[in-house]
């Protein structure tokens, strides 16, 4: 792992502490998300049956989706993309389903296409990074990570021209 890799991972962990969509106060337990049905219990969100009498609230992922404020973006671009669009998107969706099965807050919010690019938005930064790395590992190409100093949003870009 290079120094660049270490600082990137540190940055991801630091940003979670400043994320306005992660509750500042502990939720009452158990709490069920009134939108997706995820349950907050023992300090984390999980997929479980909602206990009788559970409190109601929106989970951070549903709040982000409602407010249309992603935690991260993954932009896919380059000439290679046009011939492999469906398989790359299938890979992204497959990884999201696998992650979301254990971590309800890890979701793709939207997939938008324009000018030969595909832009995925996410409720959680680590999922964008993991899908970007999986695309790079499967199809080669270049992967770039970017945080603006004043921004808590991660922007990942994958490019392959040939």
Distance CA 65, CA 76 (A): 21
pLDDT of res. 119: 98
Alpha carbon separation from 69 to 5, 122, 152 (Å, rounded): 26, 9, 11
pTM for the model stands at 0.85
87-146 residue pLDDT tens? 999 999 999 999 999 999 999 999 999 999 999 999 999 999 999 999 999 999 999 999
- How many DSSP H helices and E strands does the chain contain? 4, 9
Distance CA 28, CA 45 (A): 12
Distance CA 94, CA 143 (A): 20
State whether residue 132 is helix, strand or coil: helix
State whether residue 142 is helix, strand or coil: strand
pLDDT of res. 152: 76
Q: Which of 89, 74, 65 is nearest to 155 (CA)?
A: 74
């Amino acid at each position: 792992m290079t120094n660049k890799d270490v600082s990137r991972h540190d940055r991801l962990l630091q940003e979670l502490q400043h994320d306005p969509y992660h509750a500042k106060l502990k939720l009452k337990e158990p709490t069920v998300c009134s939108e997706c049905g995820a349950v907050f219990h023992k300090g984390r969100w999980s997929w479980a049956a909602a206990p009788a009498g559970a409190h109601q609230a929106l989970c951070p992922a549903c709040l982000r989706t409602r407010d249309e404020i992603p935690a991260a973006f993954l932009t896919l671009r380059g000439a290679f993309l046009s011939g492999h669009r469906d398989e790359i998107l299938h890979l992204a969706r497959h990884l999201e389903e696998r992650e979301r099965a254990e971590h309800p807050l890890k979701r793709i919010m939207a997939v938008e296409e324009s000018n030969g690019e595909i832009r995925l938005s996410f409720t959680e930064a680590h999922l964008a990074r993991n899908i970007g790395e999986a695309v790079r590992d499967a199809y080669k190409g270049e992967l770039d990570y970017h945080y603006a100093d004043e921004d808590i949003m991660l922007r990942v870009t994958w490019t392959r021209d040939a």
